[in-house]
Structure 1
Amino acid sequence: MEFQLLGPVEARGERGPVPLGGALSRSILAALLLQPNRAVPTKQLVDAAWGENPPAGARTLVQNRVSMLRRALREPRADGGLIATTGSGYLIHVEPEQLDVEQFTHRVARAGHLAESGERAAAVTELVGALTLWQGTALDGLTTPYLKAAAQRLEEQRLRAWERRIRLDISLGRHADLVAELTGLADTYSYHESFHALLMLVLYWTGRHADALAAYRRARATLSGQLGLEPSALLQHMHDAILRADTWVVQTIAEQLGCAPASAGMADPSRRITRLELDSGAPVPRTLPADDAAFAGRAEELAKLDETLTSSTPATIWTITGMAGVGKSALAVHWAHRVADWFPDGQLYLDLGGHAGRQLTPAEALDALLGALGSRPDRLPAAVEDLATHYRSAVAGRRLLVLLDNACSCDQIRQLLPGGPECVVLITSRDRLSPLVAREGAHRLSLELFRSEEAYALLARMLGEERVRAEPVAAHDLARACAYLPLALRIAATQLVDRPHRRIADQVARLANGNRLNALAIDGDGDVAVRSAFDLSYGSVPPDAQRLFRRLGQVPDPDLTAPVAAEIAGVAVPEAERLLDRLAAENLIYERDSGRYQLHELVRSYARERALGELP
């Protein structure tokens, strides 16, 4: 049995095409095939089949459609069948050679290895074979938001492979053969600046300088007229170089585009310009907030994020999640500054206000991002879908870092995700953002409490090495008193900075003998307080979850499982499981083992305080 997703969804057996039924059956099959050999929850199949408004009894209807697919795809297998039932959904058994998406991915990866080893012609052959697998628009005819997002991701992979093949062809000197193809691509994907740049390059190298300048004028008219944007710095520099017939600059640009001839030695080293110099001719968005001068620790997390830039299969969406005060924003901003040079087209930052103050709507967020990219407000559409289209077009082909801080939900950020693989998106949230992992393939970095040595390093940064070395035991005691929560430790250290004659041991005693939540606050700024941070998380969960949370604060360090929570809350076990999952999603509790939960020490104090101040 062979399956096709790169075009209309089809299955083909030894006797030819298999009748799959209507759009519902093909949508469910597509959702299974998008995650081959992995369990797909029934909820995702419902989203794939009906979108945001499923009918009553949708789960039963999914079961019926899966039964129909099993009959249609009946094929003897030693392990029982193509589609297996799992605990929470279904799984389809597929070998890589049975699925066109897997073949496409494999051939593109092989082309990358061949190109890296200098076998450019062989890499082109692999990419041609990969692109031949496409038989139209991916998932053609399936229109739910779930599948439209998946189809868009596949289309971006196709464009990336297409562009890579063209760059390799250019490096092999096949300039004249590419003019017609690139002209069509530049017209079809008019917001994709890379195609305009490559078209200008091959026109220049085939002696058609006037046509290359005309291609730039068409690109500029499209970008300015429809998006209110000027062409990127790279296009502008190429235009200027062609005007001057400056082959040295054109050659440098070709090298940056990755399509210089393998034997290129054309550019005079004394006249070569760097990427930074090349990109400095036009304004580039650089809206990151200031880095934290006292940032300490997190070496493992930084290394994991660094892999985003060096992996052969880089992740383009990362979520940093964790409890309030654990340092998600500080880590994200620090890493963004650390790797800013990897993103010559800019770094965008936006605080979405997810747990503090007013949350930005997707439309407001898109307005802000497009404004940072240079779009004129009077040329922006009103509808959020049109704004999202403009945004994706504005960032297409650009190497950008987008940092979306303090997100509250997947719905708030889904429209803010660029369509192409050139951009890296970093999202911070107290919520786990699980749908983003399931649907958009985001990678999650769960940020934990400080380790002892990280807490000590932060104190040394804030108080000075000499002061901390004078009281090393007290420094470690202070970290323990703050329960290794970075926000709490920063507040305690700031209070010591404000009182340079107070000993660290005195600060420890102050926390031990009083109300720690009262003590861990900065005078004059109610927002910089551990209690305020917890307030925002607590306010984000529904009343029934709040009620369970308050009761947990009154139980001394329980071995918290769903049956225990059910007894504490006076509800059935399935309902207790739902409430625990909601609290864990907001990082008010954490799962230390499968099905076993705990509260952080300061969070337990907060829950107890809430229980005393509110109805049980």
Structure 2
Amino acid sequence: MSRNRAAAMPSTGQLAGHQPLPEPLWFTVLGPVRAWRGDAEIDLGAPQQRAVLALLLVRAGQPAGIAEIVDTVWGQDPPATAVNAVHRSIGLLRRALQPELTARDSGRWVVRSAGGYRLDVDADTVDLLRFRRLMTQARTAIADGRPAAAQLAQALELWQGPIADGIGADVRCQPVFTAVEREYLAAARAAADLATATGEIETLLPAVEQAADRAPLDEPLQARLILMLAASGHQAAALDRYQAVRGRLADELGVDPGAELSAARDEVLRPPSPQLPPARAPEPAATVAPAQLPADLSTFIGRESELAEALALHSGDTGAPTTVVIGAIGGMAGIGKTTLAVHWAHRVAHRYPDGQLYVNLRGFGPDAQVMDPGEAIRRILETFEVPPARIPADLDARAALYRSTLAGRRMLILLDNARDTAQVRPLLPGAATCLVLVTSRDRLPGLIASDGAHPITLDLLSTDEARQLLVRRLGADRVAAEPEAVEEMITHCARLPLALAIVAAHAATRPQLSLEALAEELRDTGSRLDLLTTGDAHTDVRAVFSWSYRSLTPPAARLFRLLGLHPGPDISALAAASLAALPARGVQPVLAELERAGLVTEHLHGRYTLHDLLRTYAADLATTDETGEQRRAAVGRTLDHYLHISYGANRVLNPVRTPIALAAPQPEVVLQPPTDYPQAIDWFATEHAVLLASIDHAAAHGFDAAAWQLAWTLTDFQQLRGLFDNEIAAQLVAVAATERLGEVTMRAYAHGRLAYAHTRLGRFDGARTHLDLALDLQRETGDAAGQAYVQLNLGMLAERQGRHTEALGHARQALDLFLLADHRRGQANALSAIGWLHAQLGDDRQARTACRQALAVFQELDDRSGQASTWDSLGYAHHQLGEHAEAINCYQQCLELIRELGDRHGEATALTHLGDTHQAMGAPDLAGKVWQAALEILDDLGHPDAAAVRVRLDG
């Protein structure tokens, strides 16, 4: 056993109350990322896998979403294959932790959870969780007046270096890791404070000194260490430490020591005072124990994870400071910040016997009268019966008196509805025995950065939580009687607690009204906010939203209104700039203001979203405050942004495709198109849902050219990803738009794309209908190449239906037409199809000849997609001839190209064929692994081809 592991891993005897399992696992992340099975260290693989494991470890048994893993491991510039790389890393980690697993097993430790992955661990398995458990035990002991030095020393000794050491500084600097480092420093400061207060310096000095060496610029920790050294009789070492820190501050930061560090030096230099008898403690003043918390709602439901996080903060499980911000990030209007804060406060109020204070700071409200912090302090001081004459007029002096009044008291302070950090900071007590809860629509970044506040993100209720809310207010029988109406009500209220409460109130006051009737009233988006009113400004959705809106500067208010015109579901900063005709650099501060006001959420880096009801509210404002011309111009700029970037990205994906002509974009449109293949794939993947919505949006608002052109730009990406249902939806809009415009050629193209998608999905009747329409239109235009592509599609349809001879006839007709049109790429496509069909008919030698001819043309044109498809056909021909080694080589060539292209359906097809060849060679285990990989892709795509692969695996 290594020395580091011996220091980090608890012995079986240490794990009191737990029976040791055979070959137990032990993970470390407080230092290098390592794992052991019994006494043997596990090879965790490449740094990328270690980074994924490190994130799961610091998540401490909570799930990490795929997007979070990608953002953490790759930062702002992930590769196009990042998601696949995550899945591969998870699979490799699972097999490293449990070598007996097969490729199909998920194993015991890394499990799927909440759309991501979770490491199923506890404090007997991970050093971080053990550290937190020891810190909790120490805090409990301190509160009860029991010794705690040993537990603090054990907790600090678990740290063997910087968090997740060895996985790369760019990953370790992510907030999820730096937050754990702050826990370490907070624990070291707490140990130093305890040592100084109790005299247990020798027990804790080595751990505190080690922490100070790792954080040489942390002045509060260095000051505490200096005092510990002096108190243990090492004045010279204390002064040497001060001089070293002073020099480092000057060299690295260009600053002098702060007040705390200077005070520590002065304390070391101060001569000892003569021993005097202890002064008699003054008689305590009359005790006031206020109990100001609002009533806890009897209908409170859900919020289990947020409440657990909050209670963990209170009990010290995360080592976080006692100042906590609720809803600082996700705290939009009506989300339930106050409800959760009040419920939490009631749950822990008994731990604060000196009282509970509640102040509504009126940061956002109907009268716009924000409470001055000095006025809030005055009211609190009056609660403690401080005479008015003793309350200073100056804010700083008043805040000092407030802190003095609370010194030594165990108080809970709920500061509700704060406007910003400046309003809250004077209300923070100095006593560590106080718990402060703050709610705000503002993110309060200053409070988090400078005052150690811990943000708790409040999101919308889950569907189950929303249903339970209605059950609590309407009764289980009434909700159970109309389940479909209940689901619709939840959807239309967008799971916003305030909206659901209002709808429940409408239903409760009208018991004769069916829930279906109420759901029908909510269906009308235009009048939905009218229904969500109560006559009370504090519980009217539109009024509550307006409090945040009125706080905005004019540029932010305008952008918010225009966001109501965006098709959604989210928007990038550049698209927002185009929407509002703002420069790229000028939009970021405006978005930040909207986020601080709780009106938008940056749910992914650089991408913003609005709650559905906020979107409706914004659209209402746009209708009343923007002219029709202004609204149309904003929609046009947005469509120009998406169309021109999408077109540029498509040209990167498929540079040999016949181009189309676009009108010039409006001058205010911001364009930053992708410049290489991975960027293009990543852009399409990120914007895909927005692009689909934009196609419908364009058609609905009279931008028919943009509608079919956007559909045109999406075809290659959707084919690569196997998104054929999306392709059908887009091309149906394109058919209608081109018909309105009289664009015969592009209408024929759209019918052809519809036929192709229907064929790939096995919907053969629909495919034939669209092919007949496409062929009629192409003949009307006299376009030989267009007719040839329809013939290729007819051949693919016949082949899918098992009519291979008929399919070969269509492919030959296509080749003749392509030769007539002198269309080289089309000729290669036809030759590739002819080769594949010869292989299907058993004429494998002709198949190889045609495929090699096609491959030569595709290589000449640098058409990688065509090359990949032809390598697959050539591999199939070799397989049929029993030339298995040659077949495997062809499939590997195909897979290399296809993975570069990101063609997931094509990858699954090639893997299926590769598995067939391995099976034919007598390697069933290898075939099973390859088929399993294909099945995972097809299942992820929801593709019907999955059934055939599953039969291979089951057979």
- Indicate if the aligned counterparts of 2:320 and 2:452 stay in contact, CA closer than 8 A: no
Over 3 Å counting, the alpha-carbon distance change for 1:543 and 1:450 in structure 2 is same
Pick closer, same or farther for the CA change 1:110–1:387 going to 2, 3 Å. closer
Match of 1:520 in 2: 532
2:349 pairs with 1:340: yes
Deviations 1:160-193 (A, max 9, x none): xxxxxxxxxxxxxxxxxx996994xxxxxxxxxx
The 5 A counterparts of 1:105-254 are 106=188, 108-109=190-191, 123-126=200-203, 131=224, 133-134=226-227, 183=278, 214-217=280-283, 220=284, 230=285
| Greater C-alpha Rg | 2
The answer as to 2:310 corresponding to 1:305 is yes
How far does residue 110 in structure 1 lie from its aligned partner after superposition? 8.4
Alignment of 1:92-491 (within 5 A): 106=188, 108-109=190-191, 123-126=200-203, 131=224, 133-134=226-227, 183=278, 214-217=280-283, 220=284, 230=285, 282-311=287-316, 313-321=319-327, 322-356=331-365, 357=367, 358-491=369-502
Q: What is the match of residue 614 of structure 1?
A: 625
Whole-Å separation in 1 of the counterparts to 2:605 and 2:277: 54
Counterparts of 1:411 and 1:126 in 2: how far apart (Å)?
41
Matched residue type, 1:341: H
Which of 589, 592, 613 is the aligned partner of 1:581? Answer: 592
Separation (CA, whole Å) in 2 of partners of 1:433 and 1:154: 30
Paired residue for 1:590? 601
**Aligned-pair distance for 1:121?**
8.6
In structure 2, the residue matched to 1:568 is 579
Instruction: Look up the SS of the partner of 1:602 in the other structure.
Output: helix
Q: Which residue of 1 aligns with 2:612?
A: 601
Structure 2 CA distance for aligned equivalents of residues 518 and 179 of structure 1: 76
Using the alignment, how far apart are the partners of 1:295 and 1:154 within structure 2? Answer: 50
TM-score by structure 2 length? 0.39
| Partner residue of 2:553 out of 542, 555, 574 | 542
How does the TM-score come out when normalised to structure 1? 0.59
SS of 1:556 mapped into structure 2: coil
Deviations 1:210-235 (A, max 9, x none): x7xx4234xx4xxxxxxxxx25xxxx
Q: What do residues 256-306 of structure 1 show as CA deviations (whole Å, max 9, x unaligned)?
A: xxxxxxxxxxxxxxxxxxxxxxxxxx4311111111121111011110010
Counterpart of 1:539, as a letter, is R
How far apart are residue 529 of structure 1 and its match?
0.8
Distance 1:444 1:477 in 2: 32
**2:489 is equivalent to residue 502 of structure 1:** no
Q: Is the 8 A contact 1:108 1:126 kept in 2?
A: no
Whole-Å separation in 2 of the counterparts to 1:555 and 1:347: 45
The one-letter code sitting in structure 1 at the alignment partner of 2:282 is: Y
Q: Deviations over 1:507-547 (max 9, x none)?
A: 1111113601111011x323321100110111111110111
CA positional deviation for 1:404: 0.2
* Separation (CA, whole Å) in 1 of partners of 2:443 and 2:261: 22
Task: Say which of 545, 563, 567 aligns to 1:552.
Answer: 563
The answer to which structure has the higher helix fraction is 2
* Rounded Cα–Cα distance in structure 1 between residues aligned with 2:609 and 2:387: 50
- Structure 1 pair 332/181, CA: closer, same or farther in 2 (3 Å)? farther
User: CA 1:153–1:487 in structure 2 vs 1: closer, same or farther (change >3 Å)?
Assistant: farther
Question: Once superposed, what is the RMSD of the aligned Cα atoms?
Answer: 4.1
Paired letter, 1:460? V
Shift of 1:103: 8.0
Using the alignment, how far apart are the partners of 2:489 and 2:274 within structure 1?
68
Q: Deviations over 1:226-245 (max 9, x none)?
A: xxxx25xxxxxxxxxxxxxx
Aligned pairs, how many? 405
The amino acid that maps onto 1:596 is: R
CA 1:452–1:111 in structure 2 vs 1: closer, same or farther (change >3 Å)? same
Q: 1:367 to 1:107 in 2, by over 3 A?
A: closer
* Structure-1 residue corresponding to 2:6: none
Provide the C-alpha distance between the structure 1 equivalents of 2:205 and 2:262, rounded to a whole number of angstroms: 16
CA shift digits 1:485-516 (9 cap, x unpaired): 00000000011111112122211111113601
Amino acid at match of 2:357: L
Contact 2:573 2:606 in 1 (8 A): yes
Q: Distance in 2 between matches of 1:181 and 1:318?
A: 42
What is the rounded CA distance, in whole Å, between the counterparts of 2:260 and 2:378 in structure 1? 22
Match of 1:254 in 2: none
Post-superposition offset of 1:443: 0.5
Write out per-residue CA displacement over residues 445-476 of structure 1, whole angstroms, 9 at most, x where no aligned residue.
11100101110111111111222122223222
Q: Residue type of the partner of 1:343?
A: Y
SS at match of 1:479: helix
Alpha-carbon distance between aligned partners in 1 of 2:458 and 2:262, rounded to the nearest angstrom:
30
Tell me how far apart the structure 1 counterparts of residues 474 and 394 of structure 2 sit (CA, whole Å). Answer: 51
For 1:429 and 1:359, how far apart are their aligned partners in 2? 13
Inter-partner Cα distance in structure 1 for 2:322 and 2:277: 26
How far apart are 1:614 and its partner, in Å?
1.1
Q: Mind listing any 5+ residue stretches in structure 2 that lack a counterpart?
A: 1-168, 209-223, 228-237, 250-254, 268-272, 631-955
Give me the whole-angstrom Cα distance separating, in 1, the residues matched to 2:345 and 2:305: 16
In structure 2, how many angstroms separate the alpha carbons of the residues matched to 1:487 and 1:151?
47
**Counterpart Cα distance in 1 of 2:391 and 2:299:** 40
Matched residue SS, 1:466: helix
Once the two structures are superposed, what CA deviation does each residue of 1:70-97 show, in whole Å capped at 9, x if it has no partner?
xxxxxxxxxxxxxxx99xx9x9xx9xxx
Question: What SS does the corresponding residue of 1:318 show, helix, strand or coil?
Answer: strand
Counterpart-to-counterpart distance in 1, 2:590 and 2:506: 37
CA contact under 8 A between 2:362 and 2:417: conserved in structure 1?
A: yes
Q: Within 1, Cα distance between the matches of 2:549 and 2:261?
A: 35
Post-superposition shift, 1:342? 1.1
* 2:351 alignment partner AA: W
CA distance in 1, matches of 2:296, 2:470: 17
Given candidates 528, 531, 540, the residue that maps to 2:542 is: 531
Distance 1:547 1:126, change over 3 A: same
Give the equivalent residue in structure 2 for 1:13: none
Indicate conservation of the 8 Å contact 1:315/1:424, yes or no.
Answer: no
